[in-house]
Amino acid sequence: MMEIETARRPVAILAENAVVTFVLALFFLTFPALGPARSAVDIQEVRSEGGITAWLVEDYTVPIVALKFAFEGGSTQDPQGKEGISNLMTGLFDEGAGELDADAFQLELDDAGAEMGFDAGRDTISGGMRTLAETREEAFGLLKLALTRPRFDQAPIDRIRAQLVAGIQARARDPETAARIAFAEAVYGDHPYARRSEGTPETLATITSNDLRALHSRLFARDNLIVGVVGAIDAETLKSELDRIFGDLPARADLMRVADVDPKLGHNVSVAYPLAQTSLLLAYRGIARDDPEFFPALLMTHVLGGGAFSSRLFEEVREKRGLAYSVGASLSNSRHANSLIIGTATDPVRADQVLDVIRETVAKMASEGPTEAELDAAKRYLLGSYAINNLDSSGAIANTLVGLQFEKLGLDYIERRPALIQGVTREQAAAQARRLLSEEPAVLMIGPGRPGDN
C-alpha cells in the first residue's frame, strides 16, 4: 500500500568516481559523481601531531559532526578459505570494545547520541560516525575504542555469523544472486574480485576470534587510513581528535598484494529461471580513473546511458519502444579493475529484441561517437551535477572527501574539474567510444529459458 512509493524512473547516478567500493561487483554500480562546478566547499587539509591527515570542511549550520574514514584493503584481503571475514568483522565493531561488553557499548553509544557504521567493500573497509557536536567527545571516545580495541567476543561472533549465514541462505535460491556469482567468476576468473565477499556458510564457520584479531591488526593501521570530516569542529580540535581516535593504531598495514585484472569479455553467461522478467547485463572494457582519457570516456558513457532522461539507450529502449522500465550505462571503477556496464530488465519474450537494440545503439556509438550537441549537453550535466550529488548533506560531503583522497585526485580537484570536462573534444570522446565499445562484451542473461538455449 502506501509505503511502496513508485517512481517515474529508478534513481541512477553517474559513476565518475568509485569513491569507496561499498557494493558487490558488477551489478548496476552507481556511485555519486564527483567534481563540483561551483561548490562553496572550502576544504582544509589537517595534519595531526601524530602525523594523521584528514580533509576537513568546517560548517556550523547544523550542530553535528560527520566523520568518515576508509582503510585501504577490503574483502580482497580475506585469507583463502576465510572468505567473508572482513564482512563479518564490520558487523562486530558495535558489539563490545575495551572494557565494555556489547550491551554496555551500545548503551553508551546511544547515550552519546551518535550513529556509527562500518562497511567492507572489495578495496576498502570504510566507516563513519555522525554525532551531535555537544556529545562529540564521548562519541569519538567510543569510536576510538571500537577501532583500536574491538573485543570480538564469542557470543556476538556467533550471532552475527548466524545472521550472515541466514542472509546467504535466503539468497541461495535467488537466481539473480546465482547469476551474479557466475558472472563474476566468468569475468574475473581466479582474481579475488571473483570471490564472494560475503563468504559462504562453510568459510564463515571456520572463522575464529583469533582470525578476526589477526585481520584487524593487519588492516587497521595509520598508513592506509583516509579521513574526511564535516561539521561543527575546527582544525585544531580535529588534530587532537585524530590522534586520540586513530593514534593507537599500528603505523603500517600489512596488505597482501592484489593484481590488476582485465575483465574477460566476449562470452555469454545465461541462467535459466522462470522469472517475470529477463535481466540483461553487458560488460565492456572500462577505463582507469587516472587515465588521461577518463573524462572523454565518462562523457561518452553519459551520452550512451547516463542518468538523465535523454540518453541514447533510454531513448531507444524505453521512450521509443517501451521495452523496459530502467536502462542505463555507467563506468565502474575499482582499485584493480574497470569496466563499462549496461543493464536493463525486460519482458522475457522481448529480451532478444532489447539485446538487439542495445547492440545497435552501442555499435552506432562505437563507430560515430557522440554528436557535438550531445557532448555539450553531457558536459553541462556533469558540471552542474556535482554540488547536487555530492554536497547536499554533511555525510555526502565527508564521503566525497574520502573518495577524493582514495582516488588521489588532490585538494584542488574540485577547482580543476570544470576545465577537465570543458576541454574534452568530440574526437576524444569518439575515440573512447571506439576503444571501449568495439569489443564483444560479456553478456549475462537471467530469465526464463528460450527454445534453443542449453
Beta strand pairing status for 64-72 and 278-285? unpaired
Q: Which is nearer to another protein, 215 or 271 (CB)?
A: 271
In degrees to the nearest 10, what's the CA dihedral of 44, 49, 54, 57?
A: -40
Q: Which is nearer to another protein, 51 or 384 (CB)?
A: 384
- Which residue in 6, 72, 23, 1 sits closest to 330, CA to CA? 23
**Residue 447 and residue 272: Cα distance in Å, rounded?**
5
Q: Which is nearer to another protein, 237 or 326 (CB)?
A: 326
Least distance (Å) from another protein to the CB of residue 433? 20
Least distance (Å) from another protein to the CB of residue 312? 13
Least distance (Å) from another protein to the CB of residue 409? 19
Q: How many CA atoms lie within 13 A of 348 on its CB side?
A: 14
Write out the DSSP string of 393-437. Answer: SHHHHHHHHHHHHHTT--TTHHHHHHHHHHT--HHHHHHHHHHHH
Q: Is 280 exposed, middle or buried (0-12, 13-18, 19+ CB in 10 A)?
A: buried
Q: Which is nearer to another protein, 166 or 363 (CB)?
A: 166
Least distance (Å) from another protein to the CB of residue 84? 16
Q: Is 65 exposed, middle or buried (0-12, 13-18, 19+ CB in 10 A)?
A: buried
Least distance (Å) from another protein to the CB of residue 222? 29
Least distance (Å) from another protein to the CB of residue 205? 12
**Residue 269 and residue 445: Cα distance in Å, rounded?**
6
Least distance (Å) from another protein to the CB of residue 21? 15
Beta strand pairing status for 53-58 and 225-231? parallel
Distances from the Cα of 103 to the Cαs of 107, 161, 429, in angstroms? 6, 18, 56
Q: Which is nearer to another protein, 63 or 189 (CB)?
A: 63
**Residue 116 and residue 273: Cα distance in Å, rounded?**
39
Q: Which is nearer to another protein, 307 or 403 (CB)?
A: 307
Beta strand pairing status for 64-72 and 53-58? unpaired
Beta-carbon count within 10 A of 318 CB: 19
Question: Which segments of 292-359 are extended strands (E)?
Answer: 324-333, 338-346
Q: Which is nearer to another protein, 36 or 73 (CB)?
A: 36
Helix (H) or strand (E) holding 58: strand 53-58
Q: Which is nearer to another protein, 48 or 278 (CB)?
A: 278
Distances from the Cα of 379 to the Cαs of 78, 191, 368, 429, in angstroms? 40, 35, 18, 11
Q: Which is nearer to another protein, 253 or 397 (CB)?
A: 397
Q: 80 CB contacts (<8 Å, ≥6 apart)?
A: none
Least distance (Å) from another protein to the CB of residue 257? 31
Q: Which is nearer to another protein, 115 or 293 (CB)?
A: 115
Least distance (Å) from another protein to the CB of residue 399? 13
Least distance (Å) from another protein to the CB of residue 158? 8
**Do the Cβ atoms of 101 and 86 come closer than 8 Å?**
no
Three cell numbers written together for 423: 576541454
**Residue 25 and residue 22: Cα distance in Å, rounded?**
9
Give the three-state DSSP class for 207: coil
Q: Which is nearer to another protein, 243 or 325 (CB)?
A: 325
The one-letter amino acid at 346: T
Least distance (Å) from another protein to the CB of residue 426? 18
